[in-house]
Structure 1
Amino acid sequence: MALDGTGITIIGGGIGGLTAALALRSRGANVRVLEQADAIREVGAGIQVSPNGFRVLDALGLGDAFRAITVAGQAVSLRDYKRGGEVMRLDLTSLPETETYRFVHRADLVELLAETARQAGVQIRLLQKADTVVPGPKPRVDMVNGDHIDDDLIIGADGLHSVLRPVLNGVEAPFFTGQVAWRAVVPNLMGHPPEARVHMGPGRHLVSYPLRNCQAVNIVAVEERREWQAEGWSHTDDPASLRAAFSSFGGMVPEMLHAVDAPGVWGLFRHNVARKWFGENVALLGDAAHPTLPFMAQGAVMAIEDAWVLADALHKAPDFAEGLHSYQTRRAGRVRRVVEAANGNAWKYHLRNPLVRGVAHLGLGALGRLAPDRMLGQFDWIYKHDVTVG
């Protein structure tokens, strides 16, 4: 269907919502984004954007601008926790430019998307807190302040606590995974190279990589824990708690953690992929449809893919109903497989038994030396996928 002049409202001004705004606007839709904050910003810190995400940004005309704000990953380095010795190294420098892995601060990517969207004519409205969504021939967003907004199509790109998801799927209780994560960004005073390092220890691991022209380092540290009360990004922890949890780690880790000031902390919860992604003239996108644990670094990238496929499906269909059905059909199986891969990945870094860990690390090292292509290629189904083709 021709989207020229179609009115589309997107709830949520994060990476997924803004990418969708650009993709839909490029096909002629009149798009507005409702963001509850007083400014377009992104909580959190760094993200990794794999080639499947870059292809979408490049297709939207952002390739050069995106490269300029990112660090190209040169390697993935798996390391033992005690002394920081390298267990396995995957060299990424031989990959084609279009298949590079990029490290970027969320705020920088959101700023790029928001500025490009505004220049393209997308209306971004701040301080707009949605209360619920009413599907129908003319769907409606009811706002917390009592106002309401009608449009031709409404998209819920509003994350874990989406107001649209329970309308379509009912209220669902998430499952605590028994893991808690800290996130922080520190100055790169320790000379962290342009690579992703995974420091693996008993019951916990820490991932680090550089941001902003290698002037800063992003840290995500995960610890197994029995209990957690709240889910979300808004909790700040005492850095002493983080340092205590990783006090047995050596190598570069102590220096990185010494520089942490006020780390964010959150419990990791497992959610089901939504059964219904759409209703009458409404649709879910990104974490609102399929929250993803961080162990494959695909949460933001799956939202970027969603944005392209949603716009493409609507563009090719005769009406919204068929387009939204096509969107879920094209996306649900892939994101379910990615979510399941992330669910099953963390334990590999948390081996507690010293003998088992030693044998596993020897095996990883041997595979990295003898069959690096096999190690790099095991997730080709994720990274080589291109939603912009076809």
Structure 2
Amino acid sequence: MTTGKPLSVAIVGGGIGGLCLAIGLLQCPHIKLDIYEAAPEFKEIGAGVALGPNAQRALEMISPAAAKAFLRHATPNISPEHAKLWFDFRYGLRGPNYGTVLGKVENQTGQQTVHRAKFLEELAKLVPKDISHFGKRLVRVEELDPGQGVRLHFQDGESVTAQCVIGADGVHSVVRNSLLRGEAKAMFSGIVSYRGLIPMDAARAKLGKYAEDSYMWTGEDGMVMTYPIDFGKTLNVVCAKYGRESWDYPTYMLPVDASLLKKDYEGWGEIPSKVVDMIEKPTLWAMLEHPPAPFYNSANIAIMGDAAHATTPFQGQGAGQAIEDALVLCRLFRYVRTPALVAPALAAYDAVRRERTQRVVKTSREAIEEYSLYHPKVNGDVGKWRELWSQRMKWIWDIDLAEHNDEALQKMKSLVQPPLERNDAPIVIKDLRSLMYRLRSILR
């Protein structure tokens, strides 16, 4: 039974995940949608963001227009023969094994990256201006009495109420902090990353063919990763090191002197050393991740993307998992036509998304170490390295998203009687609270 009154949904955070969710929910005429963004406009920090085949399929399923927004600015590998290449892995340390080809890992779409700001700008064009509210820095989330929804309190003194709130507010999420009562906050992963950009003309002059496609130069405590962005006009560089005990800076990203980067990469071979030498203004980032959250939702609140499962970037899945989150939420909310259906929808979202996304966080942290030729699983054997990496990413890239959505819908239906297809009878939630906690204990 529907009331005829639109269901109010508030998205906190207008990054890639939040806007993808908004684009999907805008296709639901029974939803009144608002987006609250702390910044004065939709914006992203950083340069390139890669979307794997799973993320690109999810984007297409949310909206063909959103998929086109990505492809309009996406940069693939320049060499035609590397169209399906994710990364060409090479051993990067100076010595007899330098330059050894460990393996060329491929997928359906290859390495496709886009400038974060340009992608977000294209997504923002698909969102009506009148539902976007800027300068809204969230300070407190108040869950009201059953049936009354959630009240959001902003730094500027304004408060708003919605029947459902989705926190897409990033790694330092206020919504997450409220939902989990301050537990499971983002933590330093022990990995730092230097980032920089090199004009492609300069990169080609010094690196030759190694400037035009995606390469990963690996060592025993880190890697040097390069790939083209901005339609091949720029080479994006990420140099990561692991095994750090602490982060001793007041912010999680800061400009540093190039000498610090060069010192960290002494002893590396010819090509990675040339890459490091060409970065004139590197930035240093602390790689953060979330410890596993026991749940992603309450009756009227859910968290998604970096707010739910912030991860290191070593499987290229940060944005991709946020887009997958958005897809599942969009599909579930097609059926959420009354406030009573919000809780079972969010419980179903938690049940199908938490296990997968937390596995991504865990395996991403492991990936940077498993890049190495001398990881214990490989122990210097190139054949074992190739065997490991030939299948390692399949479970991420090859997910059947239609089946994933169906699983979520079936879980939602199991919490509701009568079946969702019927709209002529009162909706009864079957012992929702105990069932939600049972699901959480099973999947924890």
Quote the offset at 1:309 in angstroms: 0.5
Amino acid at match of 2:258: P
The partner residue of 1:152 within 147, 160, 163 is 163
Alpha-carbon contact 1:31-1:122 (below 8 Å) kept: no
From the superposition, tell whether residues 77 and 231 of structure 1 become closer, same or farther in structure 2 (CA, over 3 Å).
farther
Q: What corresponds to 1:105 in structure 2?
A: 115
Q: 1:261 to 1:178 in 2, by over 3 A?
A: same
By how many angstroms is 1:279 displaced? 1.9
Deviation string for 1:226-270 (max 9, x for gaps)? 321358654222222112211322333333333323322222234
TM-score, normalised to structure 2, is: 0.77
1:309 to 1:149, Cα distance in 2 relative to 1, 3 A? same
2:196 maps to 184
- 1:33 touches 1:122 (CA, 8 Å); kept in 2? no
Partners of 2:314 and 2:367 within 8 A in 1: yes
Matched to 1:333, the amino acid is E
> Between Structure 1 and Structure 2, how many residues are aligned?
376
Who wins on radius of gyration, i.e. which is larger?
2
Deviation of 1:143 (Å): 0.5
Deviation at 1:32, TM superposition (A): 2.1
SS at match of 2:6: coil
Query: Do structure 1's residue 310 and structure 2's residue 329 form an aligned pair?
Result: yes
Map of 2:345 onto structure 1: 323
Q: Compute the displacement of 1:175 (Å).
A: 4.4
The structure with higher relative contact order (CA 8 Å, sep 6+) is 1
1:358 Cα deviation from its structure 2 partner: 9.5
Separation of aligned partners in 2, 1:219 and 1:244: 17
Taking only aligned residues, the RMSD between alpha carbons, in angstroms, comes to 2.7
- Partner Cα distance (1:24, 1:280) in 2: 19
Any idea what SS the aligned residue of 2:93 has?
Answer: coil
2:319 paired residue among 275, 297, 300: 300
Tell me by how many angstroms 1:5 deviates: 3.2
Which secondary structure does the structure 1 equivalent of 2:314 belong to?
A: helix
Conserved? CA contact 1:18–1:113, under 8 Å: yes
Cα separation, partners in 2 of 1:298 and 1:125, compared to 1, 3 Å: same
- For 1:228-239, list aligned pairs within 5 A: 228-230=247-249, 233-239=252-258
Q: What percent of counterpart residues are identical?
A: 27
Residue ranges of structure 1 left out of the alignment (5+ in a row): none
Within the candidate set 94, 112, 133, 2:141 is matched to 133
Query: Separation in 1 of the partners of 2:214 and 2:10?
Result: 37
1:166 aligns with 2:177: yes
Q: Does 1:88 align with 2:98?
A: no
Is the partner of 1:229 in helix, strand or coil?
coil
Give how far 1:201 is off: 1.7
Does the aligned pair in 2 maintain the 1:139–1:152 contact within 8 Å? yes
Structure 2 unaligned regions, length at least 5:
205-209, 407-444
Aligned mates of 1:286, 1:209 — CA distance in 2: 24
Residue pair 1:231, 1:267 contacting (<8 A) in 2 also = no
Checking the alignment, whether the CA contact within 8 Å between 2:21 and 2:327 is kept in structure 1 is: yes
Q: Which amino acid aligns with 2:366?
A: G
User: Offset of 1:283 from its aligned partner?
Assistant: 1.1
Deviation at 1:382, TM superposition (A): 0.7
Q: Which residue of 1 aligns with 2:414?
A: none
2:409 corresponds to: none
Structure 1 counterpart of 2:396 = 382
Q: Which has the larger displacement, 149-158 or 269-278? A: 269-278
**Partner deviation per Cα, 1:305-349 (whole Å, 9 max, x = no partner):** 001101112223561011111111111111122122112222223
Q: Which residue of 2 aligns with 1:79?
A: 90
2:305 aligned with 1:286, yes or no?
Answer: yes
Letter in 2 for 1:196: S
Q: CA deviation at 1:122?
A: 6.4
Aligned residue number for residue 232 of structure 2: 214
1-structure distance, mates of 2:381, 2:211: 22
* Counterpart mapping for 1:12-23 below 5 A: 12-23=13-24
**Residue pair 1:164, 1:284 contacting (<8 A) in 2 also:** yes
Mark the CA change 1:71 to 1:12 in structure 2 (over 3 Å): closer, same or farther. Answer: same
Do structure 1's residue 246 and structure 2's residue 265 form an aligned pair?
A: yes
Under a length normalisation based on structure 1, what TM-score does the superposition of the two structures give?
A: 0.87
Contact 2:220 2:369 survives alignment (8 Å): no
Q: Residues 179-215 of structure 1: CA distance to partner in whole angstroms, max 9, x if unpaired?
A: 2112222212323455321111232211111111111
Structure 1 residues 357 and 262, CA, compared in 2 at 3 Å: closer, same or farther? farther
2:174 counterpart SS class: coil
Q: Which amino acid aligns with 1:380?
A: K
Deviations 1:113-164 (A, max 9, x none): 111223xx66222211111211232311100122112122211101111001
Dislocated runs of 4+, deviation >4 Å: 1-4, 230-233, 350-353, 356-359
Aligned to 2:356: 334
Of 275, 279, 283, which residue of structure 2 is paired with 1:264? 283
Match of 1:345 in 2: 367
Match in the other structure for 2:434? none
In the alignment, is the contact (CA less than 8 A) between 2:299 and 2:346 conserved in 1?
no
Other-structure match for 1:41: 43
Asked whether the equivalents of residues 378 and 384 of structure 2 are also in contact (C-alpha less than 8 Å), the reply is no
263-272 or 152-161: bigger deviation: 263-272
Alignment-derived partner of residue 8 in structure 2: 7
> Secondary structure of 2:334's match?
helix
Q: 1:79 to 1:357 in 2, by over 3 A?
A: farther
**In structure 2, what residue type is equivalent to 1:15?**
I
**Is the alpha carbon distance of 1:5 and 1:381 closer, same or farther for their aligned partners in structure 2, counting shifts above 3 Å?**
same
Contact 1:273 1:291 in 2 (8 A): no
